[in-house]
Amino acid sequence: MPQLLTVRVKRPDHRAIRIWVPVLPAVLVLTPVVVLAVLGAVVACLMFGVSVVRAFGTGWRVVCALPGTRVDMEYSRTAVLVAIR
């Protein structure tokens, strides 16, 4: 499971903003939203005839594969760099 999310925003004035977000405390704070998302996913799986256990197993494998992922986005003179560790 990912442990740390690092977000760096490079702005046009050459000042970078760097934010470190520990994943576990963020998930614990957002638990009510996570519970609603899980319930919504269960309803969607039942509506579309997808196995709930298989869908959540696949989702968990995707989450466990996230460490080491890097996403770089650039628009005009602003860049956002996200690293998952």
**Domain count along the chain:** 1
- 1-21: pLDDT as tens digits: 889 999 999 988 878 899 999
State the residue range of the domain holding 58. 4-84
pLDDT at 21: 94
Which H helix or E strand runs over 16? strand 16-22
pLDDT at 69: 94
- 60-84 b/e with 16+ CB inside 10 Å = b? eeeeeeeeeeeeeeeeeeeeebbbb
- 30-42: pLDDT as tens digits: 999 999 999 999 9
pLDDT at 76: 87
What is the average pLDDT score of the chain?
94
